[in-house]
Chain A
Amino acid sequence: MTGLQKPELVCPAGTPAGLRTAVDAGADAVYCGLKGPTNARNFPGLNFTVAEMAEGVAYAHDKGAKVLAAINSFPTAGRTDIWKAAIDDAVSIGVDAVIAADIGAGAYLARTHPAQRFHLSVQAGASSVEAINYYCRSFGIKRVVLPRILTVAEIAELHSEIECEIEAFIFGNIGMMAEGRCLLTSYVTGQSTNMDGVCSPASHVHYAEDADQNLTTRLGEFAIDCVSCGQTTGYPTICKGRYDTAPKKGYYAFEEPVSLNLTKLLPDLMRAGVTALKIEGRQRSRAYVRAVVSAFRQAVDAYHAGADPDISDLLALTEGGKETQGAFGSKTWR
Chain B
Amino acid sequence: MHVPVGVKVGLFAVAVMGSYSYFANSIPQIESKPPQELSLEGGNVTPAQLVKAGEEIFHTKGTCEICHRIGQPGTRAPDLAGAGGRAAKRKPGMSAKAYLIESLLQPQAYVVEGYPPIMPAVDKPPIALNRSEVWALTAFLESLGGTVDVTLNDIPASVGAAAAGGGAAEFKIPGDPQAGAQVFQGKGTCIACHKAGKIGASPVGPDLSQIAKIQTPDYIMGKILNPAGMGTVAGFPKGVMPQDFGTRLTSKEYVDLVSFLLTLK
Bound pair: A and B? no
